[in-house]
Amino acid sequence: MGKSLTELVRDLEETEAVATVRQQLKDGRDPLTILKDCQAGMVKVGEKFEKGQYFISDLMMSGEIFKQVGEILGPEMKGAAGPPAGKVIIGTVAGDIHDIGKDLVVIMLRSANYEVTDLGVDVPVQKFVEAVRQTGATVVGLSCLLTTAFDSMRATIKALDESGLRPGVKVMVGGGPVDRKACEYAGADAWGTDANVAITLCKEWI
């Protein structure tokens, strides 16, 4: 007996996973059920990463698989996935142009059915404030790989506070040099070392 779709995604078997999705659609299987199987596979990928069995390159591969699955299933879903689990704003703060970590968090959150607004890199302070105001997001993720950009994280959170939005928003920070001290310096609610922590925090907060 062959592997299930969840197992194919978990094992990063891209060609087989994508082919299985196409075949199951052709056979009339519910697109939402197919998506949930893929999401379960992404959860397994995250677990293997936490155990040190997978690396960042593997997370990126899983993200590519999920992206392809999304492109296939998207036209078939027509809102079948239901309301999002929550709204999240993500961006790399001003003065930093690194995006690999941020992109992984975006992929994993979207695979967990969160509505994510990705602001990109080198994001001005005010752009985060405007995005929260426009989307009504209750979680903001600030990414930073340069210690020189710690002040940008702090300034962004201060701006959210001055705008009056901070009481309704939880802020998580992450990136290579980010630790508890950096989190406290910035005034964030929590910090994380990988994409799975971001999902855990969102589940707690939303």
Residue 78's CB: how many other CB atoms inside 10 A?
A: 8
Cα dist. 100→82, 94, 142, 204 in Å? 29, 16, 13, 24
Tell me which range, 27-36, 57-66, 158-167, is most confidently predicted by mean pLDDT. 158-167
Does this model's pTM top 0.75? My answer is no
pLDDT at 130 > cutoff 70 = yes
* Token reading at 195: 């994409």
Judge whether residue 46 has pLDDT over 90.
Answer: no
Res 55: pLDDT:
87
In the prediction, which pLDDT does 133 show?
97
Residue 178's pLDDT is what?
Answer: 93
Question: What's the mean pLDDT in 92-111?
Answer: 85
**Amino acid letter, 125:** V
Distance CA 136, CA 89 (A): 9
Question: What pLDDT shows up at residue 166?
Answer: 96
Question: What residues contact 138, with CB distance under 8 A and at least 6 apart?
Answer: 86, 87, 168, 169, 170, 205, 206
Domains of the chain by start residue, with CATH: 5-77 (1.10.1240.10), 87-205 (3.40.50.280)
Highest mean pLDDT among 72-76, 95-99, 112-116, 150-154: 150-154
For the stretch 13-22, pLDDT in tens is 999 999 999 9
Who has greater pLDDT, 143 or 196? Answer: 143
- The Cβ-side half-sphere exposure at 34, using a 13 Å CA radius, reads 26
Would you place residue 173 in the very low, low, confident or very high pLDDT band (cuts 50, 70, 90)? very high
Asked whether the predicted pLDDT for residue 112 surpasses 60, the reply is yes
